[in-house]
Amino acid sequence: MRIGINVGSTQVDAVILSKHGKVVAASETVIQDDETVLAIKEALVSLIRYLRDTDEVRGVFIGATSECQEVKLGKGLAKTGLIRLNRYQSQIQPLMKWPKALSDHVVYTQSVEIGEELDWFNYFQESLARLKEAEVEAIAVVGAFSPMDNCSEQLVKESLNYHLPSIPVTMSHTIGSIGFLERENAAVLNAVLSKKMKNTLKGVKDFLSSLGFHCPLWVTRNDGCLMTIEEAIEFPVLTLGSGSANSFRGGAFLAEERSCIVVHVSEGITKIGTMIQERFEESHSQTYVFGIPTNLRMPHSIVLPLGEEKQGALGHDIRHGNPSEKTKREEVLISERKGISLAERHAGSSASNLEDQQEMWSTLKQSGLDREAMTQYAERVNDSIEELQIYDQELPIVVVGSGAPCMMQRLQSQTREVVAPFGYQRCHAVGACLGMVSAEVDQVYHLKDQTKAEVIEEAKEKAIKEAERKGAFPDTISIEQVEEYPFDYLQGEVIRIRVKAVGQVKDS
């Protein structure tokens, strides 16, 4: 058996998934007074009574999607320092396009000019004093050319770890991507989130041990794969998009569809994505987190807000591509009406009462959201579905999320199949249980003594060995992606190879 947990902005959903893939128990716990760990504990306690023995559980899987909400509200975030490493003084200011609610947490910035060799030690004593004075709790180190040569970032981190051993240091090259500003933004966001993630996961891990669980604790990441607890604490920014990944995968699994379009309606927002042969498409456009451009890899999705934001001033969490006027119009679709959280209104709904919606519509009307507004909104959802349909086949539509009953009938037509599978409210938690172990090799090679084919094979072998080391069952490991990035503007043959291996998690 596996336990899946989804930590949302207002509640924690948890499920027990049998070895045959059936949901045998589920629970829901409201997060009160921002006590996320307490809500997770209550959810786990409510599930224990369905177990004969905690040893039946082979893994606990957490989708830490609430981190977006923590960023939005500025709660539990780390006071962060940023150290830039440039060959020349950059005219580009850091934290461009950052909302003030987030940039206020970056309390110290420094730009270090480097020549042929990093003259870090000339700056170090002054930097150390200022970092201590600012009482920083996390540090991001960003080298302009670190994807090609990460020695400068490594040297700075080693120095900081020696003198400030309790402070986590994020190196931008470990987040990936060539784009400097996007990489810097992702690295700083990672540092800002580090404190919250560490406290949350440490609390959960200690509580699981006290209950007698001896199984691994996994955290889902943006691409739907799994991270160890140590990886999640080191790279919390890689969990920001896991909600969409878990929702799409969980919805398709519950509907027993390998290829489909998943419509997730919940928390005043609808996300629509495509699953093809049990895999979702990654977004190839720039990803904006609260308006901040980043290089984070997320599932491709269409996001349609429903109503106004209930709290916070940073807008909707994650978007792909440059925000447009179309997006702005969608946000004010029901701008004169009071925003509502469908999850809060209809968390108790089940697939058996989809035809009986009188009480539901009464509640919606009281909230200022009438049938006409919902019909207009459903038309936009339908338009988005048509954008994602494959030209030579009609993919079935899977509706999930606690707001599914409001949308179900409005998506029905004579030419398409629309289903709301049993357990649709808990698709996030179910999807978390289905993640695969992944390992990536992202490295720059100088093709002097090796051919390109040889370095690709070398990278593949490294990725496969790393996936096995992290807990993937060897017979299931395969290479999912191989990407090449040549550096045409550099002398000599230089190429960046990115290889990703995935495999099913090995039950302990």
| Same-domain status, 296 and 397 | yes
pLDDT tens, residue by residue, 372-423:
777 888 899 999 999 998 877 889 999 998 888 888 888 877 777 899 999 9
pLDDT tens-digit map of 127-145: 889 999 999 999 999 998 8
pLDDT band at 125 (very low <50, low <70, confident <90, very high): confident
**Per-chain mean pLDDT for the chain:** 82
Which of 411, 430, 449 terminates a domain? The answer is 430
In a domain, 79, yes or no: yes
Residue 155 above 70 pLDDT?
Answer: yes
In a domain, 345, yes or no: yes
Give the pLDDT of residue 126: 82
Domain check: are 313 and 398 in the same one? Answer: yes
Residue 96 has pLDDT above 90, yes or no: no
Distance from the Cα of residue 382 to its chain's centroid: 26
Asked whether residue 105 falls in the same domain as residue 182, the answer is yes
Q: 48 by DSSP, 3-state: which?
A: helix
Burial tier of 492 (Cβ tally within 10 Å: 0-12, 13-18, 19+): exposed
Same-domain check for residues 264 and 150: no
> Strand locations in 203-301, DSSP E?
217-220, 226-228, 260-266, 269-276, 279-280, 287-289, 292-294
Do the domain assignments include residue 16? no
Q: Domain for residue 346, yes or no? A: yes
pLDDT category at 486 given cuts 50, 70, 90 is confident
**Same domain for 341 and 408?**
yes
Whether 262 contacts 247, CB under 8 Å: yes
Question: Are 299 and 349 found together in one domain?
Answer: yes
Asked whether residue 150 is assigned to any structural domain, the reply reads yes
High-pLDDT (> 90) share of the chain, %: 42
Same domain, 402 and 463: no
Give the integer Cα–Cα distance in Å for 84 and 237. Answer: 19
Task: Tell me, yes or no, whether 86 and 180 share the same domain.
Answer: yes
Each residue's pLDDT tens digit, 227-246: 999 999 999 999 887 888 99
Closest CA to 216 of 22, 227, 66: 227
Question: Could you tell me if 361 and 412 lie in one domain?
Answer: yes
CATH number of the domain within which 152 lies = 3.40.50
Q: Is the pLDDT at 499 greater than 90, yes or no?
A: yes
Same domain, 153 and 286: no
pLDDT at 174 over 60: yes
- The closest alpha carbon to 479, from 497, 461, 500, belongs to 500
Residue 442 Cα to chain centre, angstroms: 20
- List, for residues 40-94, the tens digit of each pLDDT value: 999 999 998 898 888 899 999 999 765 555 566 677 899 999 999 887 777 788 9
Q: What is the pLDDT of residue 348?
A: 39
Q: Which of 430, 460, 478 is the last residue of a domain?
A: 430
pLDDT top residue among 346 and 98: 98
Count of structural domains, the chain:
3
Closest by CA position to 440, among listed 496, 481, 475: 481
Say if 48 falls within a structural domain.
no
Q: Mark which of 430, 451, 475 sits at the end of a domain.
A: 430
277 & 294 share domain: yes
What gap in Å lies between CA 76 and CA 223, rounded to an integer?
Answer: 25
> Could you tell me if 226 and 218 are in contact, meaning their C-beta atoms sit under 8 angstroms apart?
yes
**Owning domain of residue 453:** 436-503
For residues 485 and 393, membership in a common domain is answered with no
Do the domain assignments include residue 317?
A: yes
